[in-house]
Amino acid sequence: MIKRKQIAVIGLVVVLMGLLLSLDIKGLVKEEGQHSGEAATSASQATVVSLESVSNTAKQSITPDFSRQISELESQLKNAGESEKLKLQKQLAQKWDDLNQPAPAAFYFEQLAKASNQYSEWLKSGDLFTNAYQTTQDSLIQPGLVAKAIESYQKALELQPASLEAKTGLGVAYVNDSSNPMQGIQLLLGVVKEDPSNIKANMSLGLFSIKSGQFDKAVNRFKTVIAQQQIPDAWFYLATCYENLGEKSEAIAAFEKSKELAADPGFSAYIDKRIKELKN
């Protein structure tokens, strides 16, 4: 099985490339007229995603042996009595999480949260749905995963209204929900007011600043993140900001740092191409 660290690096490359394209860096901002249509599309697609569909998809990404183990647990769950159901749901939730498959893991943690109504399990469910919608390449299921994340964080906040983790997760989800981006921005601004160095909130605010063409503001957000933790994608987006501000030497240095931290051949080749373009 591929080690978790290797999976994380592969995921990083996918997320960076996907977000770069979705942010439309060269065009800066999508046409305003797209928003209402996108919101309607999001609402109509929210029902597409299901535990069965994401489990079937995830099984294609794991070894046959692990797929067999999962299928056996699923079969047991279908025929389980109430006393055994919770135990099997926990096993499936943990198994999918261990295999770094956030979508099916999120659905099982959601089931556990519904049964216990505990803050920690609602937060875990929200975090996994967030991981799932941020890393999926399937645009059809992404709105449904975002909606699930929002629901989980809302449930967590009902139990702990002051939770910055749940507020941050909800804010990030709202930013990714085309019908509620500004609501998300306000939540995230509230988080950084209480916790100025919050990594997740600053990352999301930085990305939103890129999308709106406010590269100078984005620079400060990513610098705040980097001061707390050396995250490859933070350096990548910092480089993108410098590039769009015309600060080529700073952009090259930041791209080099992102390449060094990611240490992935495919990503390195992409960064080398970007640096070559900057030097020409």
Write the DSSP string, the chain: ---HHHHHHHHHHHHHHHHHHHHTTTT-S--TTHHHHHHHHHHHHTTT--HHHHHHHHHTTS-HHHHHHHHHHHHHHHT--HHHHHHHHHHHHHHHHHTT-HHHHHHHHHHHHHHH--HHHHHHHHHHHHHHHHH---TTTHHHHHHHHHHHHHHHHHH-TT-HHHHHHHHHHHHHSTT-HHHHHHHHHHHHHH-TT-HHHHHHHHHHHHHTT-HHHHHHHHHHHHHH---HHHHHHHHHHHHHTT-HHHHHHHHHHHHHHH--HHHHHHHHHHHHHHH-
Report pLDDT for 45: 42
What percent of the chain is predicted at pLDDT more than 70?
83
My answer on whether 147 and 216 are in the same domain is no
Q: Are 149 and 133 in contact (CB under 8 A)?
A: yes
19 in a structural domain: yes
My answer on whether 214 and 103 are in the same domain is no
My answer on whether 70 and 142 are in the same domain is yes
Output the domain CATH number for residue 254: 1.25.40.10
**Dist. CA 234–CA 203, nearest whole Å:** 7
116 in a structural domain: yes
Q: Cα 131 from chain centroid?
A: 4
My answer on whether 89 and 189 are in the same domain is no
Final residue in a domain of this structure, among 179, 205, 230 = 179
Residues for the chain: how many in total? 280
Choice among 63-72, 113-122, 151-160, 174-183 with the minimum mean pLDDT: 174-183
The mean per-residue pLDDT over the stretch 54-74 comes to 95
173 in a structural domain: yes
15 pLDDT exceeds 60? Answer: no
36 in a structural domain: no
pLDDT digits (tens, 9 = 90+) for 180-190: 789 999 999 99
My answer on whether 61 and 143 are in the same domain is yes
Report pLDDT for 253: 97
200 in a structural domain: yes
My answer on whether 166 and 210 are in the same domain is no
**Dist. CA 6–CA 12, nearest whole Å:** 10
Q: Which two tokens stand for residue 166?
A: 């749940």
111 in a structural domain: yes
Number of domains in the chain: 2
Choice between 226 and 178, residue whose per-residue pLDDT is larger: 226
My answer on whether 210 and 257 are in the same domain is yes
Final residue in a domain of this structure, among 179, 195, 224 = 179
My answer on whether 205 and 234 are in the same domain is yes
Final residue in a domain of this structure, among 147, 179, 211 = 179
35 in a structural domain: no
Q: Which two tokens stand for residue 207?
A: 């990305």
5 class by beta-carbon count within 10 Å (0-12 exposed, 13-18 middle, 19+ buried): exposed
Q: Which residues of 43-54 are buried (b: 16+ CB within 10 A; e: fewer)?
A: eebbeebebebb
My answer on whether 239 and 163 are in the same domain is no
What pTM does this model have?
0.79
My answer on whether 170 and 217 are in the same domain is no
85 in a structural domain: yes
Residue the block writes with tokens 């096993």: 91
**Dist. CA 164–CA 174, nearest whole Å:** 15
My answer on whether 131 and 233 are in the same domain is no
Note down the domain range covering 89: 41-179
My answer on whether 55 and 167 are in the same domain is yes
The mean per-residue pLDDT over the stretch 270-274 comes to 94
